[in-house]
Amino acid sequence: MKMYKLTAFEPNGEKLLDEAFQAGNDAEAKGIGEQMLKEKNLQEKTHRCTSPAGKLILFHN
């Protein structure tokens, strides 16, 4: 399992979400990240999910 990082922001830069979670691969991490955003009603806010290698897995501006 690898550690991924999910963050969501307000337009002024205020962090709304800053969580780390584990997933087996990038596709699984994308699904988990999308689900976390949906549960917290943040899917329309600016957000990103990055892999341990710094790869951008999920992004919305």
* Predicted confidence (pLDDT) per residue in 32-57, tens digit: 999 999 999 999 999 999 999 999 99
Taking CA atoms, 19 is separated from 7, 13, in Å, by 6, 16
- The model's pTM is 0.90
* Predicted confidence (pLDDT) per residue in 6-17, tens digit: 999 999 999 999
